[in-house]
Amino acid sequence: MKTLMLILLALFSFNAQAAKRALVYNGPGACDGCYQAANQIAIRAGLDPTYVNENGLTETSTQAEKEALFKDVVVWLQPGGKSSIVMQNINDVLKSALQDYVKAGGGYVGFCAGAFASTEMVGTTSYLGYGFLPGSTKVYKDRYQADVVPITWNGKVRNIYWEGGPYIYNLPNDGDSEVIATYPNGQVAAARSHFGKGKVFVSGVHPEATQDWFDDYGMQSPSGLNFDLAVDMVNWAIQ
């Protein structure tokens, strides 16, 4: 009987782990290759990812449909792309449901465009973002060509893929918002904070970038790929 109970407990633990889901945005504004990379990070973090686009919820969605969308979800991943296009296409119902989800204790992880979208305004545009992260965002440098940038991440230098991503500024000094990584000039490259009971972790660079991203531009990363940093972002957001 004791052995049977241990087996059942092990199966329950496995099923509970397997039940943890991630929603990965792949609608308008998410670049091809970006949402797939974010999806792979969710898998590496031991989660079961599901793609969701701008029609994940609509004006006619019921409360039951809203609850079903976020059932067992522990994190929303907002990949790279064009944040202004993302926020123009996500309808108010889905945006509000996502805000409620994070506020109630869910996680949000944003890469590049996902960092732009995380603040009250999208960069220096007139488009409203999700409002998860206090502070503001602005593109790190005007030259949008992809580059490998030496980023100081938790005190150690890592060479990370960058392509038009932001730096974060005006973070409040309230003991809640935390700078995790900086660009060579000292500007904030990655930060995390709380939104209600939820956790928000964003990066202006792409630790989720796969080898083909570097190959496309004939670039190399002296420190190799940085999946571990992206997985750490997810793990922090879901704990």
Q: In this structure, what CATH number is given to the domain that contains residue 71?
A: 3.40.50.880
Q: Are 181 and 153 in contact (CB under 8 A)?
A: yes
Q: For residue 4, tell me if it sits in a domain.
A: no
Indicate whether 89 belongs to any domain: yes
Q: Quote the tokens at residue 32.
A: 């091809």
> Is there a domain that residue 68 lies in?
yes
- Does residue 214 fall inside a structural domain? yes
Domain interval for residue 137: 21-238
In a domain, 140, yes or no: yes
d(CA 137, CA 134): 10
Q: What is the pLDDT of residue 153?
A: 98
- By CB atoms closer than 10 A (0-12, 13-18, 19+), residue 102 is buried
pLDDT of residue 144: 76
Query: Rounded to the nearest 5°, which phi and psi values hold at 83?
Result: -65, -35
Give me 187's structure tokens. Answer: 């500007």
User: Would you say 110 and 203 are in contact if contact means Cβ atoms under 8 Å apart?
Assistant: yes
Domain count, the chain: 1
Question: From first to last of its 239 residues, what are the pLDDT tens digits of the chain?
Answer: 444 344 444 444 444 444 699 999 999 999 999 999 999 999 999 999 999 999 999 999 999 999 999 999 999 999 999 999 999 999 999 999 999 999 999 999 999 999 999 999 999 999 999 999 999 999 998 777 899 999 999 999 999 999 999 999 999 988 899 999 999 999 999 999 999 999 999 999 999 999 999 999 999 988 899 999 999 999 999 99
- According to the model, what pLDDT value does residue 143 have? 73
The pTM for the full model equals 0.92
Phi first, then psi, for residue 74 (nearest 5°) are -110, -15
